[in-house]
Amino acid sequence: MPDYFLDTSVCIAILEGESQQAATRMSSFEVGQIVTSAIVFAEVMIGARQRDRLAEANAFFAQVPILPFDEASGARYAALPFKRGSYDRLIAAQALALGLVLVTANVRDFANIPDLDVEDWTR
């Protein structure tokens, strides 16, 4: 059963070598204890393709299962205070629907989402 749900910002921080703390923390878990969203995967892969770093991104996601955005996640999203054009809200809704702790490098982006448990592994 997973415990943590990775946001795009922390995935990028690990892939870009910007946070050894987050990479070390992630490596302390077994595959399957940390998961992410198909939404995060899509965002990260856009950047990986632009930087010609698809192999590194694919290796990363081989260790982090990718979960589909499902009906329960959509229902949680619909119940959140509306904020236009925010993938963060979709990601947060999925973490809430799954009952997982969201790991991000941008805690401030999620501060106004009720009941969301957030951790920053980059600090």
Alpha-carbon distance of 69 to 98, in angstroms, equals 10
- Beta-carbon count within 10 A of 50 CB: 8
5, pLDDT greater than 70: yes
- How much is the pLDDT for 23? 95
Q: What is the pLDDT of residues 8-65, one digit of tens each?
A: 999 999 999 999 999 999 999 999 999 999 999 999 999 999 999 999 999 999 999 9
Q: Is pTM beyond 0.85 here?
A: yes
81, pLDDT greater than 90: no
Number of domains observed in the structure of the chain: 1
- How much is the pLDDT for 82? 73
Q: What is the pLDDT of residues 83-102, one digit of tens each?
A: 766 799 999 999 999 999 99
- How much is the pLDDT for 84? 64
Alpha-carbon distance of 82 to 60, in angstroms, equals 32
* Over residues 96-111, mean pLDDT: 95
CA-based R_g, the chain, Å? 14
Q: For every residue of 39-74, which 3-state class applies, written as one string? A: HHHHHHHHHHHHCCCHHHHHHHHHHCCEECCCHHHH
- How much is the pLDDT for 1? 83
Its domain, for residue 26, covers: 4-119
Q: Which two tokens stand for residue 28?
A: 């302390």
CATH number of the CATH domain containing 94? 3.40.50.1010
